């Protein structure tokens, strides 16, 4: 969700250069069966879906998508094409009715069971559409073999009525009687209450749910009619993106997963890799790799690729790292964004593509090419071969495939470098199509490769 403080903005117009790069040089690549990586995430419980983590996740929204109840249908029209290029899951915005009704992005939740069917908070539909349209979207996604990840906001609520609160001695906005008739709440379900004064943190002054209260646990994940079980078993969601997990202890996510299963990733907004590693261990969920995100910004926008040597969650535990270049909270255009995508789509972790980058801002064919490379060549462990301020070269060692070598060049001219590969006496090629070289590795595995200015190349056996 949007942080209250102003997040850093990295606004440069050089993205126009990236978009303008020629599509014609990108070779039409074959579709390979058996897309294999060294790291996989949980397989969906629903048959016929791609295992989450073998491909690429699509964040299927951005902040302030068009209102008017059209978004679910907009996304439904894209899921088959996304699946065709190698996406394996889509992440949707919070689907339930929130305080701002038809204008809300969902991060101020009021009625978890109103997915666009009750006339409350000023509208029947949510900003994104009706319950029927949401289910149609999920069904279309499943038909396209895509899993669907729900955005879960359980740190706080909004839209409650004022009530006398004997704990605080004042009136608080903590009386929730939603029209769905489910998960009614009072002051005792929020902090402070008779059981628990506080947890990890409040957000924005909203009433802060107390997950130690049995009523809250039962309605959120434990009971047969809980939010978690309703979303999974009735609506059809396959996994969870937990919003603002700094606001409550990691055992909450762990208990949710234990109860209902499904791929899970938390938004722990922190650049400290030790903290991210701690949270994933305690919650037994994945986390967005904010350590990687900040280092990429320093590397590509700060023009120092040596920053890619620094520690990141994917280097600690790739099976729990969800990497990304930007999202609905950051939503920025910055110099080197395509280079950042070349980085996450050739390295370990589960990469995410932002809707506007794919559909509006960047070169879709170049992103499709990188998705293909990720799904077919980017297997095995990673070794960094060379870095300086302008150049970065790393190899993936292969896992039931040959692996690859990625060469990222942030300078203004072509670069060449000798590197040691895993291939002896083997002809290799650049699978981006930017270089027409097809060199043969020496018997000692050494070969010279090149990369174009402000761009990248990806090498593997021909």
- DSSP letter string over 133-167? HHHHHHHHHHHTT-EEEEEE--SB---PEEEEETT
Q: What is the pLDDT of residues 157-202, one digit of tens each?
A: 999 999 999 999 999 999 999 999 999 999 999 999 998 888 888 7
Residue 31 has pLDDT above 60, yes or no: no
- DSSP letter string over 325-347? S--TTT----TTHHHHHHHHTTS
| Residue 109, beta-bridge partner list | 98
**Residue with the larger pLDDT of the pair 312 and 39:** 312
121's enclosing H/E stretch is none
Residue 33 has pLDDT above 70, yes or no: no
- How far is Cα 230 from Cα 236, in angstroms, rounded to an integer? 8
Question: In a 10 Å sphere around its CB, with 0-12 CB exposed, 13-18 middle and 19+ buried, how is residue 169 labelled?
Answer: exposed
- How far is Cα 250 from Cα 282, in angstroms, rounded to an integer? 6
Q: Is there a contact between 264 and 252 (Cβ–Cβ < 8 Å)?
A: no
- Mean pLDDT, range 38-60, rounded to an integer: 75
Omega of the bond leading into 192 within 30 degrees of 0 (cis) = yes
Which residues have a catalytic role annotated? 243, 267
Q: What is the pLDDT of residues 207-233, one digit of tens each?
A: 999 999 999 999 999 999 999 999 999
Residue-range domains of the chain with CATH: 15-378 (3.20.20.80)
- How far is Cα 90 from Cα 113, in angstroms, rounded to an integer? 21
Q: Please list, in sequence order, all residues whose beta carbon lies within 8 angstroms of the beta carbon of residue 340, skipping any fewer than 6 positions away.
A: 296, 300, 325
Residue 433 has pLDDT above 90, yes or no: yes
Q: Please list, in sequence order, all residues whose beta carbon lies within 8 angstroms of the beta carbon of residue 274, skipping any fewer than 6 positions away.
A: none
pTM greater than the 0.75 cutoff: yes
Q: What is the pLDDT of residues 95-109, one digit of tens each?
A: 999 999 999 999 999
Helices (H) and strands (E) in the chain, counts: 13, 19
- How far is Cα 149 from Cα 8, in angstroms, rounded to an integer? 27
Alpha helices in 378-421 (DSSP H): none
The pLDDT, as a whole number, for residue 1 is: 58
| Residue 56, beta-bridge partner list | 87
155 is in an annotated binding site: yes
Q: What is the pLDDT of residues 346-375, one digit of tens each?
A: 999 999 999 999 999 999 999 999 999 999
The pLDDT, as a whole number, for residue 11 is: 31
């Amino acid at each position: 969700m949007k942080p209250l403080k102003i997040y850093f903005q990295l606004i440069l117009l050089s993205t126009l250069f990236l978009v303008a790069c020629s599509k014609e040089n990108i070779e039409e690549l074959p579709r390979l069966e058996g897309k294999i990586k060294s790291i996989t995430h949980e397989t969906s419980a629903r048959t016929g879906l791609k295992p989450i983590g073998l491909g690429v996740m699509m964040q299927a929204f951005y902040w302030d998508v068009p209102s008017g109840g059209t978004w679910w249908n907009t996304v439904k029209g894209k899921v088959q094409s996304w699946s065709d290029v190698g996406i394996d899951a889509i992440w949707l915005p919070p689907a339930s009715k929130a305080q701002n009704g038809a204008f809300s992005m969902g991060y101020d939740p009021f009625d978890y069971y109103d997915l666009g069917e009750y006339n409350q908070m000023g509208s029947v539909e949510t900003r994104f559409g009706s319950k029927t349209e949401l289910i149609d979207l999920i069904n279309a996604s499943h038909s396209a073999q895509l899993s669907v990840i729900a955005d879960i906001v359980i740190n706080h609520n909004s839209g409650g009525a004022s009530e006398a609160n004997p704990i605080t001695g004042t009136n608080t906005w903590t009386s929730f009687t939603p029209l769905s008739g489910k998960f009614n709440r009072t002051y005792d379900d929020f902090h402070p209450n008779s059981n628990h004064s506080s947890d990890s943190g409040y957000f924005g002054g909203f009433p802060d749910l107390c997950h130690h209260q049995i009523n809250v646990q039962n309605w959120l994940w434990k009971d047969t009619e809980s939010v978690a079980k309703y979303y999974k078993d009735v609506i059809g969601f396959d996994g969870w993106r937990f919003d603002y997990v700094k606001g409550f202890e990691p055992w909450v996510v762990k208990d949710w997963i234990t109860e209902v299963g499904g791929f899970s990733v938390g938004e722990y907004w922190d650049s400290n890799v030790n903290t991210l590693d701690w949270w994933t261990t305690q919650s037994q969920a994945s986390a967005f790799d904010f350590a990687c995100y900040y280092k990429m910004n320093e590397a590509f926008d700060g023009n120092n690729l040596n920053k890619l040597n620094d520690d990141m969650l994917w280097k600690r535990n790739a099976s729990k790292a969800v990497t990304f270049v930007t999202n609905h909270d950051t939503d920025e255009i910055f110099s080197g964004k395509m280079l950042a995508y070349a980085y996450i789509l050739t390295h370990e972790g589960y990469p995410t593509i932002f809707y506007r980058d794919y559909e509006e801002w960047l070169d879709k064919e170049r992103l499709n090419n990188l998705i293909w490379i990720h799904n077919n060549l980017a297997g095995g462990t990673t070794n960094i071969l060379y870095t300086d301020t302008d150049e970065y070269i790393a190899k993936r060692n292969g896992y039931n495939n040959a692996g690859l070598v990625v060469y990222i060049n942030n300078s203004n001219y072509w670069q060449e470098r000798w590197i040691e590969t895993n291939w002896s006496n083997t002809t290799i090629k650049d699978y981006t199509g930017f270089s027409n070289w097809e060199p043969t590795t020496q018997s000692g595995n050494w070969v010279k490769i090149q990369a174009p200015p402000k761009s990248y190349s990806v090498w593997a056996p021909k």
